């Protein structure tokens, strides 16, 4: 009993779910009345193929046949039976007078009236069903172009303007060789201090005596030696007096 109750509950749930799905599909699809206000009839002068061509049937849509069931019916047939108006082997038969047919498959559907002579008089229709229109996904805009730019190359450093400074010439030597003391007896003697001449026989140191052995590189020492030399000459002159 418990299993039967569970099975019954499952069946009810499945039926409820199926009903919800069906209702949901019906609500989503469009509903078209065949022939609009005229309905499905052979005396209304309606070209049902032109009427169907003016519509955009999609999956989930429904068409409704309104007619007098005493005089008409609806047969779904294949392409060959449609061309021959042959209702002997229909795919589906409708006869209530208010028949709703759901378009569940894409492709072409063919309908005729099964009453003899009505199909040949124009009570027939072929309609095309397309798949549901795909939802257009917004295209992702392309990424903006990169604004990165290669940094400018650092210019090379300017050529060096350094020049070797000119060599400073050595200062000219201001040293001059002092005049040789005149030898005794060959030249007149200069006056000493106080205007007295040098005594006879006094001789200056020989000129070959080199008081400045280091030349111009020791100017200060040479000047000192020269001053000492002059003082020595003067001292000797004073002694001679």
Domain ranges of the chain: 28-132
pLDDT of 67: 97
Spatial separation of the C-alpha atoms in residues 65 and 52, rounded to whole Å: 13
What is residue 25's predicted lDDT score, i.e. its pLDDT? 47
User: What value, to the nearest 5°, has the Cα angle with vertex 203 and ends 199 and 206?
Assistant: 165
DSSP letters, 215-236, are GGGGHHHHHHHHHHHHHHHHHH
Q: What is the per-residue pLDDT for 187?
A: 44
Check whether domain 28-132 has CATH 2.60.40.420, yes or no? yes
Give pTM, 2 decimals. Answer: 0.47
* Sign of the dihedral through C-alpha 15, 17, 21, 23: positive
Max Cα-Cα span within the chain: 189
Cα distance between residue 59 and residue 129, in whole Å: 7
pLDDT digits (tens, 9 = 90+) for 120-159: 999 999 999 998 654 555 566 666 665 656 666 776 666 6
* Strand ranges across the sheet with 92-94: 57-58, 124-130, 107-112, 74-77, 92-94
Summarize the chain as % helix, strand, coil (round to 5).
Answer: 30, 15, 55
> Which pLDDT tens digits describe the chain residue by residue (241 residues)?
445 455 455 556 555 555 544 444 445 699 999 999 999 999 888 999 999 999 999 999 999 999 999 999 999 999 999 999 999 999 999 999 999 999 999 999 999 999 999 999 999 999 999 986 545 555 666 666 656 566 667 766 666 665 666 666 666 555 555 555 444 444 444 444 444 555 566 565 554 445 445 445 556 666 676 777 778 878 787 877 6
pLDDT for the residue numbered 93: 97
């Amino acid at each position: 009993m418990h299993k039967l109750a569970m099975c019954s509950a499952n069946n009810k749930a499945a039926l409820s779910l199926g009903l919800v799905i069906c209702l949901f599909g019906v609500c989503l699809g469009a509903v078209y009345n065949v022939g609009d206000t005229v309905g499905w009839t052979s005396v209304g002068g309606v070209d049902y193929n032109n009427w169907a061509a003016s519509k955009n049937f999609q999956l989930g849509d429904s068409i409704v046949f309104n007619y007098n069931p005493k005089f008409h019916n609806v047969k779904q047939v294949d392409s060959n039976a449609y061309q021959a108006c042959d209702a002997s082997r229909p795919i589906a038969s409708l006869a209530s007078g208010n028949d709703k047919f759901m378009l569940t498959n894409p492709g072409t559907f063919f309908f005729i009236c099964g009453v003899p002579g009505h199909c040949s008089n124009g009570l027939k229709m072929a309609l095309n069903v397309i798949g549901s229109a795909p939802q257009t996904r917004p295209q992702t805009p392309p990424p903006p172009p990169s604004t990165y730019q290669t940094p400018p190359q650092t210019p090379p450093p300017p050529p060096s303007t350094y020049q070797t400074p000119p060599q400073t010439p050595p200062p000219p030597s201001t040293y001059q060789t002092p005049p040789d003391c005149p030898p005794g007896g060959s030249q007149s003697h200069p006056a000493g201090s106080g205007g007295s001449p040098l005594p006879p026989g006094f001789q200056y140191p020989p000129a070959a005596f080199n008081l400045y052995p280091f030349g111009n590189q020791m100017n200060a020492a040479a000047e000192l030696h020269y001053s000492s030399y002059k003082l020595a000459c003067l001292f000797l002159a004073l002694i001679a007096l």
